[in-house]
Each structure stands twice: as structure tokens, then as C-alpha cells.
Amino acid sequence: MTTDSTFRTQMIEAREAPDQSRGVLGWFRANLFNGPINSIVSIVVILLLARLVWPFLEWAVIDADWIGTAREACTGEGACWVFISARFESIVYGFYPEAARWRVDIVFALLAILVAWLAVPRMPRKKWVALFTLVVFPIIAFFLLVGGSFGLEYVPTRAWGGLMLTLTIAVVGIVGSLPLGIILALGRRSKMPFVKGVCVIFIEFWRGVPLITVLFMASVMLPLFVPGELDFDKLLRALIGIMFFWSAYMAEVIRSGLQAIGKGQNEAGQALGLSYWQRMGLIILPQALKLVIPGIVNTFIALFKDTSLVLIIGLFDLLAIIRAGLTDSNWLGFSTEGYVFAAAVFWIFCFSMSRYSQYIERRLNTGHKR
């Protein structure tokens, strides 16, 4: 009832938002040109992109040669992807005999299905599929790829190569290093001094040396360790080295997960009269492993990238096959195409894994963040 001039009695009409903070131009102002320094930075970045990205696109896409089967097809100014498409088969299968490549295809397809099943959260029966992937699938893959039984032709590992070998090493490394890493992590937290000591020394040893020296060791020292008459497959030796090496890293990741689980969980298990393995297998590990899925996936990524190192001990993985193609006298001078292609393949695998780990992290992390 007071008509004090301090208060208004009518609503002020809504005003339009300021011109300069709306729309595309407003966005540009807010994000790129808010202040002199930012404007200079933006202009420098734009110029840099124009200098780097456009020529690369021109080289890789616009001026590139895509179609053809021989070197004569490389006529344009840009990249010649014919180099890749002409040897695509060997990049995928290595020297695997052509008649038996369907076996590799089956393994590829099975692997893709299993990985997709495990990766998509909605799919049911995760536990069984995981068990199948870790136990049954390696056996199937072994018999299919090596052959020599069930009427399949024997294919020595010498003939393995390309993407197929890269994936084999990666999958064996992953499937082998995960259980080994779990055991090592549990051992390192054990109260038994000898068990703990062995695990600590094992882990710190492998983490302290470069993978190359491990591969060298596998290729020159391992043959000395076994009885002379035993012929030790070169790929198998490399796989053993890779598995031990990465299990140490995996153990440290898993240990960080074990440390994050409260003491009460273990004590509650004890109070229920569960044995050590029951407590670990049913209570501690399921929680701990879930916590460190991102860390485990990051280790997988590192492992996948480092499979390329086997070229140094003379195995023909994806990178080595492409490199071997570069020394072909018909195809000299295509190293840029070769290495860019190899980089792209590895990048696609690693980037999707890292994206997946971020997605899982978001899914598991409910709340707590502002």
C-alpha cells in the first residue's frame, strides 16, 4: 500500500540479449576474440592450421591416387594409396598361406564378436562370455591358426604376419598378463614375507627395464635356458617376454585397486568364515577390478602400441610388413604413405580403446564430481 519510490510496482519488460553475445558472432567473440592476447593467439593458431592441415589434406586426400594395382597408377602430386591397397592382403595376413586365410577370418570375426559383447554394457551373461574369451577362445584360435590337427594344414608361426600377428601378440599379451598380474598384485599384498619378496622383485625387475631388452633376452637368452634339443618357437619366446613384462605393469594397476578397497570388506568376509580365495574372488577382486578398469585399458593400449617392437627381433607384425614393402624395388619412395597408414591403423585401435575407457569411467563414476 506504500507508494515508496524505492519499489517498482510493474515488471520491467524483458530486454533482448545483447547483440554481441549471441549467435555465431557472439560465440566467436566469447571464445576466440575476448581480449587482445586471445585474438592474437587465435589468429596465430588459424594461420598455423592453414599452413599445416590444409597441405596435409591436399596430400592425403585431394591430390592422392586411390585406384590402381601397380606403381604406374601413382601419377598425382599427393599420396599414392595404391601402395597400401596393392599389398593390403599381406598387410592383413602376412605370409599366411592363401588357402588357409579363412581360418584367420574366423578368428578375427569371433574376436570381434566377443570384444563387442564384453564392451557393450547392455549385453547379458558377461561373466560367462569373459570366461569364454579368456579360456575357450584362445584354445579355438590356437587350433585354427596353427593347424596341424583336425585335418587343417599346419602353418608355422614363421608365416604369420601383418595385422593378424599384431592382434595375436596383443590378445595373447592381454589374456596372459591379466591373470598373472592379478596373482602378482595379490602376492605383493600378501603377509607372507617370502611370497611378497618374490612378487616385489619380479614386478620391479620387469618395470625397470625397457621392453626391447626383454625381447632381446627372449630371443638370445631364452634358447640357452631350455634343453638344447627343444626347438623353442621365436614367436612363443617373444610372447613369453611380453606377457611377463606387461604382467608387472598390470600388477601395479590392480594393486592400486586393491588398496582402494576398505579393510572392512576383507574383515567382513573373514567374519563370515570365508577362505582367502573366496574373499578375494567373491568380494575384493570384483570391486577392485571394477575400480581400475580405466587403468587396465590404459595398460592394454600401451601393450598394443608396443607390439610394434617385435619388428626389432625380426617378427613381421603390421609395421614390419609395411616396412618390408618399402624396400621393394618397385615401390621405393613411399615411406611417408607407409608410415602414415601404419600410424592410422594403430591410432584407430588405441583411440577407440582410450575413448572406451573414458566412457566406462563416466559410467562407473556416479556423482562425486562437480
Partner 1 sequence: MLRPSTTLPRRGRGPLWRNPAIRALIVQAVLFLALAFFVGYLVHNTLVNLEARGIHTGFGFLEGRAGFAIPQTLIEYTSDSTYGKTFVIGLLNTLLVSALGIVAATIIGFLVGIARLSPNWLLARLATIYVEAFRNIPLLVQILFWYYAVLRALPSPRQSLSLFDAFFFNVRGMVMPDPQPLEGFSATPWALLIAIAAAILFGLFAKRRQANTGQALPVYWIGTAIIIGLPLIVFLATGLPLEWVIPEMTGFNFRGGINILPELLALWLALSIYTAAFIAEIVRSGILSVSHGQTEAARSLSLPEAITLRKIVIPQAMRVIVPQMTSQYLNLIKNSSLATAIGYPDLVAVFAGTTLNQTGQAIEIIAMTMAVYLVISLTVSFLMNLYNARTLLKER
Is the Cβ of residue 90 or residue 335 nearer to partner 1 in the bound state? 335
Q: Does 136 bind partner 1 (CB under 8 A)?
A: no
Q: Does 64 bind partner 1 (CB under 8 A)?
A: no
Non-local CB neighbours of 319 within 8 Å, separated by 6+ positions: 166, 308, 311, 342
Angle, helices 162-188 vs 193-208, to 10°: value is 140
Q: Does 61 bind partner 1 (CB under 8 A)?
A: no
DSSP helix, strand, coil percent of the chain (3-state; round to 5): 75, 0, 25
- Interface with partner 1 in residues 214-233 (CB under 8 A): 216-217, 220-221, 223-228
Query: Which stretch, 84-92, 146-154, 203-211, 360-368, contacts partner 1 (CB under 8 A)?
Result: 203-211
Q: Does 21 bind partner 1 (CB under 8 A)?
A: no
What are the CB-based long-range contacts (under 8 Å, 24+) for 309-315?
309/211, 309/212, 309/215, 310/165, 310/169, 310/215, 310/238, 312/212, 312/215, 313/215, 313/216, 313/218, 313/219, 313/234, 313/238, 314/219, 314/234, 315/161, 315/165, 315/234, 315/235, 315/238
Shortest Cβ 284–partner 1 spacing (Å) = 18
Sign, CA dihedral 66-67-70-75, equals negative
Among 62, 209, 282, 364, binds partner 1 (CB under 8 A): 209
Among 121, 151, 193, 367, binds partner 1 (CB under 8 A): 193
Query: Which stretch, 8-16, 64-72, 239-247, 349-357, contacts partner 1 (CB under 8 A)?
Result: 349-357
Query: Which stretch, 87-95, 234-242, 256-264, 301-309, contacts partner 1 (CB under 8 A)?
Result: 301-309
Is the Cβ of residue 137 or residue 304 nearer to partner 1 in the bound state? 304
Question: What does the binding site for partner 1 look like in residue numbers (CB under 8 A)?
Answer: 31-32, 34, 38, 41-42, 45-46, 48-49, 191-195, 198, 204-205, 207-213, 216-217, 220-221, 223-228, 301, 305-306, 308-309, 311-312, 319, 323, 326, 335-336, 339-340, 342-343, 346-347, 350-351, 354
